[in-house]
Amino acid sequence: KYSIGILGMQGATEEHAKHIYDLGHETILIKNKEQLEKVDGLIIPGGESTAIWRLMKKNNLVEAVQQFAESKKPIFGTCAGLVLLGKGQVEAGQIVSLGLMNIQVKRNGFGRQKDSFEAGLAVKGMKETYPAVFIRAPYIESTGENVEILASYDDKIVAAREENLLVAAFHPELTDDNRFLELFLSMVGEKTVVAV
Ligand code: GLN
């Protein structure tokens, strides 16, 4: 049984907690860096990346999350969480990003006409298509050399992995198909076994 942190600044935290609980693990809503020290893996949920970022700074969580990643503990960033894990882009004069993953992100990349939609994705390593729910989603414009592309939609990269970091442009917590959360938990499992 793993202890999974869900970054509790703003956004879709409860739905993640429910699914992780259903999969047999415990969750902690992360509001400060002391709580972060107790968990085996971290989910950065969807929401509004600028709001999450502002609250992370206010609660001294920027460096703490960067250190968490550097210690090779797994992080799963979904939607706004993907934006925050990628290389930053300037928003209103400041960079809104942890800069941890070697991906260039296009925020709100699917445009207003496609604010939210569902699509069946072919995902590397999954036999059947995955029902992905996109809400004002970003996409990945380009990836660095150690990044494995897991899925694309409309020629745009929407899921990827780089070592201990996993990102999805969609909301895996909004479907009952838990394969992405299971993939993340398997990354936590690999790390936890090594650490024992
Ligand atoms: N558009 C949001 C952002 O850039 C992300 C939307 C979401 O997480 N559903 O922060």
How does DSSP assign 131-185, residue by residue? EEEEES--EEEEE-TTPEEEEEETTEEEEEEETTEEEESS-GGGSS--HHHHHHH
Give the residue ranges of the chain where pLDDT is below 50: 194-196
* Residue position matching structure tokens 């970054």: 7
Mean per-residue pLDDT of the chain? 94
Q: Report whether residue 172 contacts ligand 1, using a CB cutoff of 6 Å.
A: no
Per-residue pLDDT of 36-60, as tens digits, reads: 999 999 999 999 999 999 999 999 9
- Type of residue numbered 16: H
- pLDDT value at residue 111: 80
Using alpha carbons, select from 151, 28, 7, 190 the residue that is nearest to residue 84: 7
Residue 190: Cβ within 10 Å count:
13
CA 48/CA 71 separation, integer angstroms: 26
Options 91, 173, 182, 190, the catalytic residue = 173
CA 168/CA 81 separation, integer angstroms: 8
Q: Report whether residue 108 contacts ligand 1, using a CB cutoff of 6 Å.
A: yes
For ligand 1, the distance from its centroid to the CA atom of residue 192, given in whole angstroms, is: 30
Residue 125: Cβ within 10 Å count:
10
User: The complex's ipTM?
Assistant: 0.94
Fold of 3-195: Rossmann fold (3.40.50)
∠ CA(102), CA(34), CA(49), 5° rounding? 40
The answer to the question of whether 179 is labelled as a binding residue is: no
* Residue position matching structure tokens 């990269």: 157
- pLDDT value at residue 195: 47
Does residue 91 carry a catalytic annotation?
no
> 108, 114, 116, 140: which to mutate for ligand 1, most atoms within 8 A of CB?
108
The answer to the question of whether 8 is labelled as a binding residue is: no
Options 16, 19, 25, 79, the catalytic residue = 79
